[in-house]
Amino acid sequence: MRVLLVEDDSTLRAQLRAGLQDAGYAVDEADNGRDGHHLGAGEAFDAVILDLGLPVLDGISVLKRWREAGLTLPVLILTARDSWHEKVAGIDAGADDYLAKPFHMEELLARVRALIRRAQGLASPLLQCGALTLDTRSSRVTLNGQPVALTSHEFRLLAYLMHRPGSVVSRTELTEHLYAQDFDRDSNTIEVFVGRLRRKLPPDTIETVRGMGYRLVTPP
């Protein structure tokens, strides 16, 4: 899962980036509205955290431009404390949720999880595929109740697939959603991570669909 973070306060941005990365997300960031808009319009993200008070281009304008261009990705806006009119303007501009400053990292993470889940039509934070369970709250994976040790890349890959059970996901899509822009992307690494993940999961959990990509198979 890949998240775009648009926040001009460098201290807050660093805190949010660290918290999001710890929770297993790939994070791209911008410190002004123009760069944030450009990234959101041109790159693939699973969710956006958008501050409203931004230099160069304000957050509401960024959001309006994305929505006018038909971008449907989930957006969580950060608003000033007690500013109900900002919340209203943000939601009217196309925000999916809001969080007033100051907030706890745990609440932000919970809201981001919920946005990503809902975008895939999933109701529960507990994702299941046969004996395999992924708890999006703790970023833990278990198989028949036993913990499965995964690296952050393996976890991100599995989480992306488990949010889309039964759907074919291409290597390109995986590459776009698993790595931040500055990461040295190579589609061969996806095959390497799939191979590593397969060795830790029951056989045939991740099916290769020839010429198309991969699919998470739920056992009957």
What does the binding site for Ca ion look like in residue numbers (CB under 5 A)? 8, 51, 53
Q: What angle do CA 181, 135, 127 make, to 5 degrees?
A: 90
* 3-state DSSP helix/strand/coil % of the chain, to nearest 5: 40, 20, 35
Closest CB to Ca ion among residues 53, 130:
53
Give least dist CB 110 to Ca ion, A: 22
Least distance from C-beta 130 to Ca ion, angstroms?
Answer: 45
Taking the least distance from each CB to Ca ion, the nearer of 53 and 125 is: 53
Minimum Å gap between C-beta 59 and Ca ion is: 8
Residue 111's contacts (CB-CB under 8 Å, 6 or more residues apart) are 76, 97, 99
Choice between 21 and 32, CB closer to Ca ion: 32
For residue 197, the surrounding DSSP H or E stretch is helix 187-200
Q: Phi-psi category of 202—alpha, beta or left, where left has phi over 0 and alpha has psi -120 to 50?
A: beta
Contacts of 85 (CB under 8 A, 6+ apart): none
- Minimum CB separation from Ca ion for residue 104, in Å? 18
Q: Which is nearer to Ca ion, 3 or 114 (CB)?
A: 3
The closest residue (CB) to Ca ion is 53
